[in-house]
Amino acid sequence: MAKPKTQEYPVLWLQGGACTGCSVSVLNSVSPSAKNILIDEIIPGKHINVRFHTTVMGGTGDSVVAELEQTREEAKGAYLLVVEGSVPLGADGVYAVIGERDDEGIPMLSWVKSLGQDALAVIAVGTCAAFGGIPAGAPNPTESASVQQVFSAEGIDTPLINVSGCAPHPAWFVGTVASLLIQGLPMEGELDEFRRPRAFYGQLIHENCPRRAYFDEGKFAKKLSDPYCLYEVGCKGPVTHADCPTRLWNNGVNWCVGSGAPCIGCVEPTFPDVVAPVYEKITDEALPNIGAE
């Protein structure tokens, strides 16, 4: 019997005000591997066809930039747009350009608007794309904005999913894409108030932290190598929503607090300005009443 035809989903991946860390994190995915993601079927019968990604694609120049426009025309309403990094608005967008038109760089803003409005869905991968992140930190000299801010200003209502993190866990991105391919756009209640999938961002770090018993007993680390709760040396776990303590990083090897470093709140819209300084305790008033109805 002939094998059923594989369904292809074109993906365009833009990088703006970014360090490429989100791409590197996703490429470190173990199950599925980067090869599975890029070449094989990400789930049985479905393959994402990454047509543009400046870090991994072999081509350069006008011909690969033309792929962006071509995909928009050929697959209108049927491709996924992934945005990594902030969208710099200052100086007419000169701080992040992709390709040229009439000898002028084409600003990231222009691509996010044109490709964003014709996509099936947009995934803002990483805290910079989701909330502005480090490029938008004070004094924000590039006037960096998030995808959501651009969409709101431009009246673009394409479904947007924020997969925040500095960098995000590969499973958060792969799981979000797999969910889109299996069940379609997120259903009511599946995203939180910041458009993040509750499956990954539904609980506080502090709720599942193995050092929580020390917090409850008032045993606090005075330096990073102490084995107790890291709250007094700056842990933002009580105000940070992610499944790092249970999912772990590097294919289940460890995570920030497990390696003796405080959670720095990297997935939150408040990162980095509000949760800074990294090694200072947050004020007790900011603590949610954990466990209360």
169 part of the active site: no
Q: How many residues bind ligand SF4 (CB under 6 A)?
A: 23
Residue 65's CB is within 10 A of a number of other CB atoms, namely: 19
The one-letter code for the residue type at 1 is M
Is 115 a residue that touches ligand SF4 (CB under 6 A)? Answer: no
Is 186 a residue that touches ligand SF4 (CB under 6 A)? Answer: no
State which of residues 82, 98, 209, 239 lies at the interface with ligand SF4 (CB under 6 A). 209
CB 246 → ligand SF4: shortest distance, Å? 11
Q: In 54-108, at which residue ranges do the beta strands (DSSP E only) sit?
A: 80-84, 87-88, 97-101, 104-107
What element of type H or E holds 216? helix 212-217
53 part of the active site: no
Is 128 a residue that touches ligand SF4 (CB under 6 A)? Answer: no
State which of residues 107, 264, 269, 275 lies at the interface with ligand SF4 (CB under 6 A). 264
Tell me the three state secondary structure of residue 20.
Answer: coil
CB 129 → ligand SF4: shortest distance, Å? 16
State which of residues 267, 269, 272, 275 lies at the interface with ligand SF4 (CB under 6 A). 267
State which of residues 173, 263, 269, 272 lies at the interface with ligand SF4 (CB under 6 A). 263
Pseudo-torsion of CA 254, 272, 11, 25, nearest 10°?
A: -20
State which of residues 47, 195, 196, 211 lies at the interface with ligand SF4 (CB under 6 A). 211
Nearest to ligand SF4 of 196, 211 (CB atom): 211
Is 238 a residue that touches ligand SF4 (CB under 6 A)? Answer: yes
Is 160 a residue that touches ligand SF4 (CB under 6 A)? Answer: no
Is 147 a residue that touches ligand SF4 (CB under 6 A)? Answer: no
Is 215 a residue that touches ligand SF4 (CB under 6 A)? Answer: yes
State which of residues 47, 51, 72, 206 lies at the interface with ligand SF4 (CB under 6 A). 206
Say how far apart CA 94 and CA 100 lie, in whole Å. Answer: 12
Is 196 a residue that touches ligand SF4 (CB under 6 A)? Answer: no
Which residue's Cβ lies closest to ligand SF4?
237
The active-site residue out of 47, 53, 169, 229 is: 229
Say how far apart CA 172 and CA 165 lie, in whole Å. Answer: 9
Pseudo-torsion of CA 200, 206, 209, 213, nearest 10°?
A: -160
Which region, left, alpha or beta, applies to residue 67 given φ > 0 means left and ψ of -120 to 50 means alpha? alpha
Kindly state the tokens that stand for 252. Answer: 């289940």
Radius of gyration over alpha carbons of the chain, in Å?
Answer: 20
Pseudo-torsion of CA 211, 242, 198, 155, nearest 10°?
A: 150
Strands 87-88 and 144-145 turn out to be antiparallel
47 part of the active site: no
With 0-12 / 13-18 / 19 or more C-beta atoms within 10 angstroms meaning exposed / middle / buried, residue 71 is: buried
Nearest to ligand SF4 of 125, 229 (CB atom): 229
Exposure on the CB side of residue 197, measured as CA atoms within 13 A? 23
> Site residues (CB under 6 A) for ligand SF4?
165, 205-206, 209, 211-212, 215, 229-231, 235, 237-238, 240, 242, 244, 255-257, 263-264, 266-267
Catalytic residues: 19, 22, 128, 166, 206, 209, 229, 235, 244, 256, 263, 266
